[in-house]
Amino acid sequence: MSKFFGTNGVRGKFNELDPELTLKLAQAIGTYFKCGKILLARDCRLTGPVLHASVIAGLASVGCEVIDLGIVSAPTAEFMIEKLKANGCIIITASHNPPEWNALKVVDGAGIAISKERGEEIEKLMDKIKLAEWNKVGKISKYELAVQDHIDAIKKQLGSKPLTKKKIVLDCGNGTACGIAPKLFNELGMEILTINSHMDGRFPGRPSEPTQVNVKELITAVKVSNADAGIAWDGDGDRVIFVDEFGNYVIGDKVFALSIIWKLYNTKEKIGDVITTVATSKAAEDIAKKYGAKTRFTAIGAPYLCEEFVKKPGSIAGEEVGGVIWPELSLAKDGFFTAAKMVEALSQKPLSEWLKQIPVYYNVKTKIDASEKTKKEIVARVLNHAKKNKLKFNQIDGVRIDFEDSWVIVRASGTENYVRIFAEAKSEKKAKDLVEEYKRIAVN
């Protein structure tokens, strides 16, 4: 069991992920990557500068060369790995979590985020740290062009045809999006309005997670200004949500579905697989099928998407919360490239029209309180039920059971004392009934 690493890096409040632990983790991470060049980036959280100093000290003390990208988004930092030929990257960001949290997101030289399993290997190195000789400590330098490099690469992917000028409202959520989004959409020739567009690690404008409730101000701004669309990011910019021209919120699952359409619709060469997690809407699979693409499923968490992609590449990968991987750019979930693709699609038709191409499904979620011990029993009961009744199921992450045009997943939370049940169906009633049915099976 990993002690510190979770699904995507090491996360904690300041008294948990403190400067001392951060330093030791950075030493182990540097050792794991066999040093060389390691990139470092952070978001604007108040504990960022302190942890940043610890990571620099940790990496350089074991002999790594540290290239400090400054305050940039996670996809920007991850994009730079290949460009600067680095052996790895550490991003100090707690993504969409509240401001008192922070985290180390770790990505290897191939652009693959470090999973819990690989995190365990890093933790083992923490007791075997070998300091570099005094004259072999790593050099520390700054690279300040990462944002522009990232913007240029996005623009290059969009091609040379100018886009139709649209009015777009950007809600940067006081996070790292402030440093890239206004510039990017200006350069794409859009008329932009911005809200929460100054960086502030206390996230005074709205909580960092771009849920429907949290982006109320954006929805109003799109309606009042008669804009063509609204866009909001989470704190580190890997996740993105949209608002259509009528002020309708476009949830992450639909952002991924739209991304698949935009990618496959424009693919001239052979279409590859769509890679997604077992908790993503069936809409993704339906769209993929329509374009002749196969869907491959992974466990929940960005590292698993990357790993699956490297094992066997595909056209696009993504998860239900609005993180989409565009392999033509990098293996990062890139909220800025996803948003740029949306703006590109607006040149053809309004966002509400694109949304009509997504098959309609209804989702219902619930959770059951459970200890570490009962979690296993609950999932086992559901598994037995599936086997006994000869249902179509997989155990990629928890137990997922597939029916004709609906499915249900029962899985133990990795970080909290819950078992989550999530169902999707063509009607809301059917989804509710499925959740209720499996809740009964799970607790009996």
| Interacting residue ranges for Mg ion, rule: CB under 5 A | 95, 234, 236, 238-239
Give least dist CB 8 to Mg ion, A: 9
Measure the CA–CA gap between 304 and 282, rounded to whole angstroms. Answer: 19
Buried b (16+ CB within 10 A) or exposed e, 354-384: bbeebeebbbbebebebeeeebeebbebbbe
How would you classify the pairing of strands 167-171 and 229-233? Answer: parallel
Give least dist CB 95 to Mg ion, A: 3
Give least dist CB 78 to Mg ion, A: 12
Give least dist CB 74 to Mg ion, A: 6
Give least dist CB 239 to Mg ion, A: 5
Q: Which is nearer to Mg ion, 239 or 282 (CB)?
A: 239
Q: What are phi and psi of 371, to 5 degrees?
A: -85, 175
Q: Which is nearer to Mg ion, 103 or 378 (CB)?
A: 103
Measure the CA–CA gap between 66 and 82, rounded to whole angstroms. Answer: 15
Q: Which is nearer to Mg ion, 113 or 227 (CB)?
A: 113
Question: Measured at CB, which residue is nearest to Mg ion?
Answer: 95
User: What single-letter DSSP state applies at residue 239?
Assistant: B
Q: What are phi and psi of 381, to 5 degrees?
A: -60, -45
Q: Which is nearer to Mg ion, 305 or 346 (CB)?
A: 305
What is the side-by-side order of every strand in the sheet holding 65-71?
5-6, 9-13, 101-108, 88-92, 37-42, 65-71, 140-142
Q: Which is nearer to Mg ion, 11 or 116 (CB)?
A: 11
Q: What are phi and psi of 412, to 5 degrees?
A: -80, 135
Q: What are phi and psi of 3, to 5 degrees?
A: -95, -35
Measure the CA–CA gap between 177 and 158, rounded to whole angstroms. Answer: 20
150 contacts 174 by C-beta, under 8 angstroms: no
Instruction: Report H helices in 62-115.
Output: 74-83
194 contacts 217 by C-beta, under 8 angstroms: no
Give least dist CB 7 to Mg ion, A: 12
Measure the CA–CA gap between 408 and 406, rounded to whole angstroms. Answer: 7
Give least dist CB 210 to Mg ion, A: 10
Question: Beta partners for 407?
Answer: 402, 424
Measure the CA–CA gap between 418 and 408, rounded to whole angstroms. Answer: 16
Give least dist CB 236 to Mg ion, A: 4
Distance of CA 209 to CAs 173, 232, 259, 335, 436, Å? 9, 9, 20, 13, 28
Residues 6+ apart with CB under 8 A from 208: 95, 96, 97, 98, 99, 173, 174, 175, 234, 235
Q: Which is nearer to Mg ion, 234 or 344 (CB)?
A: 234
Q: Which is nearer to Mg ion, 41 or 261 (CB)?
A: 41
Q: Which is nearer to Mg ion, 236 or 308 (CB)?
A: 236
Cite the active site residues.
Answer: 95
